[in-house]
Structure 1
């Protein structure tokens, strides 16, 4: 996997932000309106640019937290797909990035159709045609990332948003509901246990096939309402991911065949192991998908979020939006330390556990 370039020079607090760096931008260019996501590194804020009154999602990261440890930088480097200039219809767009002595700012598309997870919770399950549409759009984005040697690694419903028309947008808001322990090393995985592939759990080296497992886990949850191998007992869930056969109750033959292939415990036998995205898209489950039309956003989404305009926040979790914006943006050194104490209860439904505790 290619490492994105988040480098810290010891002589200054400057971070190399890659091709997206805009040296003229500054926090006062924006009116910050609401918190729309949060995590250990910082927050995602809804912001309105003063120059053109357009809305953006601005991801604000604390340098102090990121640069605290060398390992932290490695995690950041591995995960921060934003630092590559990416362009794909189902990936969140990065407009530019800038920095202050304390913080990094990433100015992103504001996507306000809501998390896929949010809609799934409301409806419990999706029918196969709707699940197929979302899975195909996500697979298209994953295939593109793989073509650039980027392994996404953290596919889960919270990282899949819908735009105002109902198309999928894969984000690097992995930040939104995720913690990285301040003592984390690259061997301590972080992420939501439900969606971790067996090889990640076993701390084995992983490759792009980890994303096809993630795709299978998301498709499974869309159709059955819970992640595969789900158990409220985390040790039991890990045991299921590592050892138990997949249980499929109902669903078409082609759906079950695809799920068996994506949720194959041996990475080298998983669908996608040989020809990557080509193998996934040629599966019988996707026979009715015209991949070219899909890529060009010509396929009508099965659900319209009916957002009333760019500032409409009806689909954003009030857990975030009820929070005050002040402090996320200005120079407040206490913000970084307060994050450490607040992160334990800040993430609804998020948990991560060191493998040693369970294996």
Structure 2
């Protein structure tokens, strides 16, 4: 079981690297393809849109054994990032980012089912958290490494790295993940039957709004650290390691909290942490020490809800809709990513300082926390205890 979960984590590492890499090297990419930093936010949005469209793969692939699907997603990840590395202009890079995003939600939706199937009873949240750990490690080690690589070699070299990593993950999944039966075939309409009830929509709205709020600020974390926190560009790799450490702490705390309480309650706690952190970022982050500390705290809140929200949606989709339900979390996550990046861009385009997007995002994240508390109280018992 542990080896299989580690293999899944290598896949989530590749996708986490691909997703968050641009935030760390957005200045390098903007200069490389001749656009402004706010305009380069479009590369973040293109990935997120690819996530949304890529989920459709599961509509037609749900009968395929999960292991084979996971391997196919890694090949698509490799192809998209290889194209990004070779992109001659902004338009091609936008298309490459779209392709890179396509396997993201589908992978996490499928991997959550595989992790749950391999987990010991009562430790499902922690098993999913191990799978998600790869995504958090991508922020701790991968993104800082990519930022360093972009500075020493080229931003293109960072995309080459993730393409090669995806190939390695393809091999590990093939070797270490056991065969797991395909989900129940409920037919085309049956895969979406769970959406006829309000509970799943409350969770998805919370995921969308929670990440919209956080990504208003996080999409521009590098220029925020430099222009508002007072850090030198050379310190960014180390600071992104700190941010990734916060994500690891949040992910593992969220998994344990989800098993002790419930997925909905645990996710609400995480969104509350993120909301409080962004208010503090707006008010107190104008120094090197406070900017680093508050970045760490907000990153704890960013990934605290990850495994609880993923497992909550797998639960509501039971009976044939598990894959679609799990993938919908990543669609909502990256939809929030895209919207948040655009809101942050709009705020910065007014000439506001780099702490202003945090203030814009805080009430949006607070709304997500309220929705998750409502889900835990009104809807969750029907799914979590069946």
Q: TM-score, normalised on structure 1?
A: 0.30
Higher RCO (C-alpha under 8 Å, 6+ residues apart): 2
Q: TM-score, normalised on structure 2?
A: 0.29
Structure (1 or 2) with the greater helix fraction: 2
